[in-house]
């Protein structure tokens, strides 16, 4: 493992090697500790057993210490490179997300019917320039959140408008049914000739010249209101 570690560090320090060190960091540390112990053993044996030549033991211990320092230094630098690499990957991913969100934003704006083609194009260019100005991950995230919030507001406004249209339509239907029931017609009748015929038939019975009662006067007003309102509602349809 250490041989591969040194070889790639010297001759092939690329993204794959950064990930290799990160994945095998525990094993590399363990092998370094073992080499360090083996390197110090001759020195300990010299002091315990006692030998005339200490130089080989010192050299072995020195090499093992240098090895440990080099490994720790390389791994420390690799950790920084790994953090940078991770951030770059996050930026690439969020850039892709922003591109999708910009397309989604343009569709939401078109579907809302509130924006012209020029306004949609300007908004897309505006966010594309914002992305180009970004340098850090936080900047990209801020742009991404801004686009998502804008899309949410556009869709919310569209939903509210649809709800208003639905409520108005429902109110109209209820009024229409109310006035039709006054004339004694079935719900959904929209033939103005049929409504007019029924209106005049009822007016013959309740007209003040024929029927002098107070109930007839009130019924006449009710019939007039129903007939006039139905004419307006049917014209609007």
Q: What angle do CA 44, 47, 50 make, to 5 degrees?
A: 125
CA distances from 103 to 108, 172, 185, 186 (A): 9, 38, 51, 49
pLDDT in the model for residue 98: 92
CA distance 47 to 107: 80
Indicate yes or no: pTM above 0.85.
no
| CATH 1.10.287 intervals, the chain | 183-236
pLDDT (tens, 9 = 90+) of the chain, 237 residues, equals 666 666 566 657 778 888 888 888 888 888 888 888 888 887 777 777 666 567 777 888 888 888 888 888 888 888 888 888 898 899 999 999 999 999 999 998 888 888 888 888 998 998 899 898 888 888 999 999 999 998 888 888 876 666 666 566 667 767 788 878 877 878 777 778 888 888 888 887 777 777 767 777 788 888 888 878 877 777 766
- The whole-number pLDDT of residue 91 equals 92
Q: Is 172 helix (H, G, I), strand (E, B) or coil?
A: helix
Distance CA 1, CA 12 (A): 15
Interacting residues of 28 by C-beta distance below 8 A, sequence separation 6+:
1, 2, 5, 21, 71, 75
For residues 188 and 177, give the distance between their C-alpha atoms in angstroms, rounded to a whole number: 7
pLDDT for residue 97: 93
CB contact at 8 A, 56 and 42: yes
pLDDT value for 168? 67
CATH topology of domain 183-236: Helix Hairpins (1.10.287)
């Amino acid at each position: 493992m250490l041989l591969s570690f040194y070889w790639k560090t010297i001759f092939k320090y690329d993204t794959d090697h950064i990930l290799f060190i990160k994945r095998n960091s525990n094993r590399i540390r363990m092998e370094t500790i073992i080499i360090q112990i083996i390197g110090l053993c001759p020195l300990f044996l010299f002091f315990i057993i006692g030998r005339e030549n200490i130089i080989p033991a010192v050299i072995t211990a020195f090499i093992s210490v240098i090895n440990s320092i080099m490994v720790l230094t390389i791994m420390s630098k690799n950790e920084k490179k790994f953090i940078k690499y991770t951030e770059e990957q996050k930026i690439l991913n969020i850039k892709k997300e922003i591109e999708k969100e910009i397309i989604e934003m343009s569709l939401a704006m078109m579907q809302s019917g509130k924006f012209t083609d020029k306004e949609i194009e300007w908004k897309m260019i505006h966010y594309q320039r914002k992305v180009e100005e970004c340098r850090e991950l936080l900047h990209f995230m801020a742009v991404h959140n801004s686009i998502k919030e804008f899309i949410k507001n556009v869709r919310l406004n569209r939903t509210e408008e649809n709800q208003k249209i639905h409520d108005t339509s429902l109110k109209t239907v209820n009024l229409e049914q109310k006035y039709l029931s006054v004339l004694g017609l079935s719900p959904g009748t929209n033939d103005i000739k049929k409504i007019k015929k029924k209106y005049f038939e009822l007016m013959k019975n309740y007209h003040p010249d024929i029927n002098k009662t107070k109930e007839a006067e009130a019924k006449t007003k009710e019939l007039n209101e129903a007939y006039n309102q139905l004419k307006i509602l049917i014209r609007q349809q």
